[in-house]
């Protein structure tokens, strides 16, 4: 059976549109990426992108959902969150005031990710963040 398995692995999770699902998505990500050098950063990105989907799109409506996809290879993790749309503008990074409690999510994702892609329209968008682990240095691998 191993000869039919490719090195990259892909997992998907459909989440109902409630805040508790962001916690479940983080735990699911942590379980899948257990031991991967990008696990902690990936978990934070899942939290930010999932929260953004619930806050800014129809995914946060009573019957809304968002889809989380993890694509994994030995050094790379791609995290994609697909929302249900409902917002005419593309997500963008903003500069939050020091006292603001919101407005830093996409900025955090951009700081952690090697690459960030946004595709789709007001009818549903996918935000994909790519993490790449640094080559091993002195036995320590970090993202």
Q: Domain boundaries in the chain? A: 9-132
CA nearest neighbour of 79 among 23, 111, 38: 38
What is the C-alpha separation between 77 and 129, in angstroms, rounded? 8
| pTM, entire model | 0.84
> What are the residues facing 32 on neighbouring strands?
none
Q: What is the pLDDT along the chain (143 residues), one digit of tens a residue?
A: 455 556 668 999 999 999 999 999 999 999 999 989 999 999 999 999 999 999 999 999 999 999 999 999 888 999 999 999 987 776 665 665 555 455 557 888 999 999 999 999 999 999 999 999 987 643 455 67
Fold category of 9-132 in CATH: Heat Shock Protein 90 (3.30.565)
Q: Is 40 left (phi over 0), alpha (psi -120 to 50) or beta?
A: alpha
């Amino acid at each position: 059976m191993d000869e039919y398995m490719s090195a990259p692995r892909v997992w998907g999770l459909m989440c109902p549109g409630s805040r508790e699902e962001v916690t479940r998505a983080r735990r699911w990500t942590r379980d899948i990426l257990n031991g991967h050098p990008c696990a902690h950063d990936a978990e934070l990105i899942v939290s930010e992108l999932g929260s953004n989907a619930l806050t800014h799109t129809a995914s946060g409506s009573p019957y809304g959902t968002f889809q989380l996809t993890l694509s994994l290879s030995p050094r790379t993790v791609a995290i994609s969150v697909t929302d249900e749309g409902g917002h005419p503008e593309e997500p963008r990074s903003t500069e939050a005031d020091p006292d603001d409690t919101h407005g830093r999510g996409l900025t955090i994702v951009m700081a952690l990710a090697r690459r960030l892609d946004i595709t789709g329209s007001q009818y549903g968008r996918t935000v994909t963040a790519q993490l790449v682990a640094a080559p091993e240095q002195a036995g320590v691998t970090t993202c």
